[in-house]
Amino acid sequence: MDTMIDIKGLSIDELERFLLGKGKERYRARQIFKWLYQRGATSFAEMTDLAKELRRDLEETARISTLSPEALEISRDGTRKYLFRLDDGCSVESVLIPEEDRNTLCISSQVGCAMACEFCLTGTFRLTRNLTTAEIVNQVCAVQKDVPVRNIVFMGMGEPLANLDNVIRALQIMLHDDGLQFSTRRITVSTAGLVPEMERLGQSVTVNLAVSLNATTDELRDRIMPINRKYPLTVLLDACRRFPLPGRRKITIEYVLLGGVNDTLDDAKRLVRLLSDIPSKINLIPFNEHEGCSFRSPSQDVIDHFHKYLLDKHFTVITRSSRGADISAACGQLKGKLDALKPSGAGKQIEVSDSTNEVT
């Protein structure tokens, strides 16, 4: 059994307590944080401003975990999808989405997911386990070695608020001035609607909140998002009203458009009524079709009409264009592809031809 403390899994306060227990000065924690997250140290020997005695002590009692991508898919539009194999053999994905003025990294918080949303590929893997704090943070560290990252979104595999302790600790590391130094404006945590955990998140850290809504009636949301049976729309939207928002910020409402299911003008009208008194902006996400799912993407005409109606009602609306369409872009697709190919070599790059999505 591994008794070594994984330093990458500790917040700054926890690292201070760990060092104080060794009789060391509190400020050493900030030094170590800078080495880990700003200089990318992977061993204590690299931390040359620490006393040799402390470095030897740390080498005997602690370790520095890292992640390296087992596979990487690169789309023609620049989207990069990473698959990370964890120490126990499980795997998770992260997606880097390039834009003109920033790169946004979508990271995972669980192996699989227990939410069982009907339209989500990750839900078909079921929940295996929560990611540790270090496994969450190391996704960011690994991708930053490859490309710069400006925004973080917890919208990958898993329900972040179902792993709240580790997610909060990871957020504290990401936001700390001696850690990854992200602005609170640059991190968004998404949820399917775990109401008590939304409140705790808002009390613990300042980040942006995204709520995956996807339906305007309890009847439909009960069917496609089972969490709604526990926290129906009225309860969820009340929690959105109470969520602490810094001045002028808005909650992001994610709405996956499912062709013929939730994309009518009546749906748009109900959405307007539901959000009328909630500071919000709306992300419309045309469904990304994947094998084994009966849902289909709506036509462009339907998408445009839905978007225009919301815009005419003075909502901030963004329709997310499909990114990485020529690779395994939907959450879980690369995991499924690579699991089918086991055993696979570490660091394998998946090249995508112009005519197929097959692995070459």
Per the CB < 8 A criterion, the answer to whether 187 and 207 are in contact is yes
- Distance, in Å, from the CA atom of 159 to the CA atom of 144, rounded to the nearest integer, reads 23
Closest CA to 215 of 202, 200, 226: 226
Active site (annotated) includes residue 90: no
**H-state helical runs in 40-117:** 52-61
SS3 of 238, please? Answer: helix
Tell me the pairing of strands 69-74 and 251-257. unpaired
Active site (annotated) includes residue 331: yes
Tell me the pairing of strands 102-106 and 151-154. parallel
**H-state helical runs in 293-357:** 300-312, 333-340
Q: H/E/C letters for each residue in 100-166?
A: CCEEEEECCCEECCCCCCCCCCHHHHCCCEECCHHHHHHHHHHHHCCCCCCEEEECCCCCHHHHHHH
Catalytic option among 106, 117, 141, 331: 331
Instruction: Note the residue count of the chain.
Output: 360
235: which 2 tokens?
A: 């309860």
Q: What angle do CA 22, 3, 113 make, to 5 degrees?
A: 120
Catalytic option among 93, 135, 159, 197: 93
Per the CB < 8 A criterion, the answer to whether 110 and 159 are in contact is yes
Closest CA to 162 of 140, 193, 136, 133: 193
The single-letter DSSP state of residue 43 is S
Catalytic residues: 93, 331
